[in-house]
Amino acid sequence: MQKENNLTVGQWCSQWFNSNRSKWNGNTEGGYRNLIYSHIIPSIGSVALSGLTKQTITDFYNSLRSQGLGARSVWCIHLLLRRCMDEAAQDQLIPYNPVRLCQEPKAEEYKTAPLRLGQLQRYLNTAEQHGVLPIIYTGLSSGLRQCELITLSWADFHIRYRYILRGQRLLTLNDKAGHLLKRIPETASSYVFLNPKTEAPYKLHEFYYLHKKILKEARLPWVAFRDLQRQCMEVGI
């Protein structure tokens, strides 16, 4: 049952920030502070928390773009606001998170032609056949850079709430990614993804050749992993 409250979006965001700031390093805290107090609160801070809607959020993103804010910054604000409102929903302050109804802003445009959905499924099926679906799917669905993906540690993950906290970057996990991560057997290593051939974290060139091998065996045209990642995040694999 939803709890009665008279909070505004600004009040809740400030409360959420102050309640969680001790969990973050200095860079992360500074990044979140800037997004909340320089962008979110000045624009939609006076809106009643219970009255926050998909349209209000969409208009907010459009306003940020019209002010010249970069696409990546708008994307980061979206991820932060989504996480903040997830907690409001968990605390029963709102019945659901309206940010999750919004289309995720694009961080960048494609540089190569995207694969068709059927081709994308072949790529994922081939990755699963090789036992590497967890690292491939997590990379495609989270937005992590390849150098971040291959060096992820278990300390970066918060599987219960389905998010990754990497430096100043806040990235959400979908249900399937969370499920795949829970299936990874525990090892003595603090790293999440280990190359089965070396039992050590992947090196960048090893991950490059893994991606290339999957494309070749799935009989797919070349597409950079980063461009494939953008497509997957847009279609919501």
Q: What does the pLDDT read at residue 105? A: 85
**Does some domain include residue 4?**
no
Q: What does the pLDDT read at residue 27? A: 65
Neighbouring residues of 105: CB distance < 8 A, sequence distance ≥ 6: 61, 71, 74, 75, 78
Same domain, 133 and 72: no
3-state secondary structure at position 163: strand
User: What residue numbers bound the domain in which 42 lies?
Assistant: 9-101
Same domain, 136 and 45: no
In 3D space, the residue among 60, 5, 68, 62 whose CA is nearest the CA of residue 36 turns out to be: 60
Q: What does the pLDDT read at residue 128? A: 94
Q: Which residues of the chain have pLDDT under 50?
A: 110, 161
Q: What does the pLDDT read at residue 110? A: 46
pTM: 0.52
Q: Which two tokens stand for residue 48?
A: 């009643």
Q: What CATH number is associated with residue 159?
A: 1.10.443.10
